[in-house]
Amino acid sequence: MSSESARLRVDADKQMPGFHLQVCLESGSETLVLFGPSGAGKTTTLNIVAGLTQPDSGEITLDGEVLFRKGYPGAPANVPARKRRIGYVFQSYALFPHMTALGNVAYPLWRRPDRERHAAQLLERVHLGHLAGRYPDELSGGQQQRVALARALALEPRLLLLDEPFAALDAAVREQLQRELRAIQAEMGLAMLYVTHRLEDAFAMGDRLAVIQDGRVAQVGALDDVLRQPANSTVAQIMGVKNLFHARVIAATPDGLRIDWAGIQLDAPPQPAQVGAGVTAYIRPEEVKIIYPDRPLSAAVGLNLVDGTVLESIPGVSFRSLRILIENGFEIEVRFPPYAYVPLRLERGARVRLSLRRDALIVLAGAGQSSADGSVVGLAQTNHMQGG
C-alpha cells in the first residue's frame, strides 16, 4: 500500500527465549490478515501493537501518533495500553464471568456517566440487546464472541485487533459473524489486524495478507496476489499451495524457461533464472488438465504432457480431486468440477494423460534450491520410483 494511506505503522524487534520477532508492517482503513502457522509470532505482534508486550526496540505509530519508540530518532515513547484507543478481541473472549453481558461491555466505560446506555446500544448493534442480563456461562460461543466484540468497540477504537476470534465456532455462526464484522469495519472506517491460520477466514475477512513465519514478515500483498504468486517456497507451503516441486533450469530465453523435474522436461513462462540453477515451481490443481485420448489437442494443452496412474479419487460437492502418480515417480493433485470428464473412467488404477499447462506453471522468483531432486513439497514427499 502507499505510505500516504497507511494509518498504522509497526517496526518492532523483540527477543524472547528461543524466539526473535522482527516485524515491519503498514495498514490503512482495511483488514490486514496476519497469516501463518502456530508459533510464528502473530499473537505477539498483536500484543506489541496493543501495548501488552513491550518491544526491545522499534517504533509504532497510529494515525500519526507515536505509541512506542525506542532506539529510533526522536523522543522515546510508550503510551499505556489503556490510552491507545485500540480494541482487542481475544480468542478466549476473556469475558468477566461474574458480570452480565451489559456489565462486560460497560466495564471499559466506567468513567462515562452514560456507560450503561452506551453499552446497551452496542449490544443492540451486535444483535444481543435481548440478552443484556445474561452471564457468559448462559451464552453460546457465538453470543459470547458478540459480547467480546461489543466490548472492544466500546471505546470507539481507531484500530481493532482480533486474535483467531472465530476459531471455536461452527461454520454457520462463523460466517454470520464475519459478515457482521465486515459491515462494522466498513461503517466505522476501522483499521483491523486479524490473526488466523485458516485460509478460508483470511479470504472471508481480509483486504490484504501478511504471511508471518518465524517472527518475520515473509510477504505482504493482496490476498489473490500472495496466493497466486508466493514470494518463495516457504510462503507457498504456508499458504497451502499444492503441486510444489523442485526442478532445474535447462534453458532460459526471453520467451520462457525449460525446466527438468526429475526427468520430465516442462516449458514455463519467462522468469529470471540461470541455466543450471535449481528452482521451485508449482501448478494449481485446477490448472492441470486431463487429456481426452480421442480428441485433438488445442494449443492451450499441447505442451507439458505427462502420463500417470490414478492413486485416489476424492469426490466433493463443488469439485472432485484426483491424486495421480506420474511417470517420474512423484504425485500431483488434479481438481475439477464434478460434471467434468464424465466420459472418462477416473477411478483408482486408471491410466491418464495430463497437461501441466505452460501458462499456469509458476516458477517462483528467488526460490532456488541447491538440489533438483524433484521433491513434491506441496502434496507428497515420497518418490514411489525410489521406494521412499
CATH number for the domain harbouring residue 281 = 2.40.50.100
Task: Specify whether 111 is located in the same domain as 12.
Answer: yes
Positive or negative torsion for Cα 270, 276, 277, 283: positive
Task: Specify whether 155 is located in the same domain as 301.
Answer: no
In total, how many domains does the chain have? 2
Task: Specify whether 65 is located in the same domain as 212.
Answer: yes
Task: Specify whether 170 is located in the same domain as 238.
Answer: no
Task: Specify whether 183 is located in the same domain as 250.
Answer: no
Task: Specify whether 115 is located in the same domain as 189.
Answer: yes
- pLDDT band of 378, cuts 50, 70, 90: very low
Task: Specify whether 242 is located in the same domain as 186.
Answer: no
* Percent above pLDDT 90 for the chain: 64
Residue 67 maps to which CATH number?
A: 3.40.50.300
Whether the Cβ atoms of residue 322 and residue 351 lie closer than 8 Å to each other = no
Domain termination site, one of 191, 211, 230:
230
Q: Give per-residue pLDDT as tens, 336-352.
A: 999 899 889 899 999 99
Task: Specify whether 276 is located in the same domain as 172.
Answer: no
Q: Give per-residue pLDDT as tens, 169-187.
A: 888 888 888 888 999 999 9
Q: Which residue has the higher pLDDT, 199 or 185?
A: 185
Task: Specify whether 17 is located in the same domain as 141.
Answer: yes
Task: Specify whether 209 is located in the same domain as 242.
Answer: no
pLDDT attached to residue 366:
46
Task: Specify whether 78 is located in the same domain as 55.
Answer: yes
pLDDT attached to residue 375:
53
Domain termination site, one of 230, 262, 281:
230
Q: Which residue has the higher pLDDT, 235 or 384?
A: 235
Query: Which range marks the domain in which residue 204 is found?
Result: 3-230
Task: Specify whether 192 is located in the same domain as 329.
Answer: no
Domain termination site, one of 198, 230, 262:
230
